[in-house]
Amino acid sequence: MPVVKYPRATEPLWHKWDRKAQKCGLRHTVYAVNGDQYTGEWLDNLKHGKGTQLWKSTRAIYSGDWKFGKRDGYGSYSIPDPVTKEYRKVYTGWWKNDQKCGYGTMYYPSGEHYEGEWSRGLRSGWGRSYYQDGSIYEGQWLEDQPHGLGMLRLSSENRYEGGWKDGKKHGPGKFFYLDKGQLFEGIWSTDVPKCGILIDFGRNEAPAPTQYPIPKV
C-alpha cells in the first residue's frame, strides 16, 4: 500500500524577522519611516520608560518618560529657534496620555511664561502667569483662562484681587490703586465694575495721590 508523505511545515522567514524586530528594553536609535528618531527604552514594541524623541519635520525634541507609546510622566519638550537654530525649552513638567497634565512650566515665544497646574494640555488648577507687559496673574485657571479666585498685579503695582470668569474679572473683587492711594471694592461683570465704593487707602504713602481726598460719609 503506498504511503503518502506530506512536506514538513516550515515557519515563514518573516515570522523570525518579526520576532527579531520586536523591541523590548533599551535600544539604540530607531528610525521611523517618516524620519523620526527615538532612542531609549521599549516594552512590547512600544516606547516605554526613559527615552528621547526627535521629530524630523519640526526638529522638536522630547526627553523624558514614556508609557505604552505616549509621553507620560516627567519630561521636557524643546524646539529650535528659527533664527539661532539653538534649542529652547517650550515645556518642562508632567505629562499624561501624551498631554501636559500636572505641574509644569510653559515658555511662550513672546517671552511670557506660565508655571502651575495643567489638565489635558490646558492650564487648569492653580498657577502663575508672567506677561510680556510686566503684569503677573496668580490664581485659579480653567481650560487655559483665569477662572475662579485670583490676583492680577500690573506693572504699575496696582492690582486686582477677586473673582474671574473666562479670563475676565467677574464677581466680588477689589482693585487697589496703589499709585493714587485708593481702593475700589465692588462687583464686576466681564471686566466691567458694575457697582461698589471707592475709598482712600494709604493716601499719605501714595506716589501720585489725587488732588482732593475723598470725603468721609
Render pLDDT for 42-85 as a digit per residue (tens, 0 to 9).
Answer: 998 899 999 999 999 999 999 999 999 999 999 999 999 988 88
User: For position 20, what pLDDT does the model report?
Assistant: 66
If you write DSSP's letter for every residue of 85-147 in order, what string do you get?
--EEEEEEEEEETTEEEEEEEEE-TTS-EEEEEEETTEEEEEEEEE-TTS-EEEEEEETTEEE
Report pLDDT digits (tens) over 153-203.
Answer: 999 999 999 999 999 999 999 999 998 899 999 999 999 999 999 988 877
The CATH label, of 1.20.1260, 2.40.50, 2.20.110, 2.30.29, for the domain at 21-107 is 2.20.110
Against a cut of 0.95, is the pTM above it? no
Backbone angles phi, psi at 112, to 5 degrees: -75, 155
- Is the pLDDT at 14 greater than 60? The verdict is no
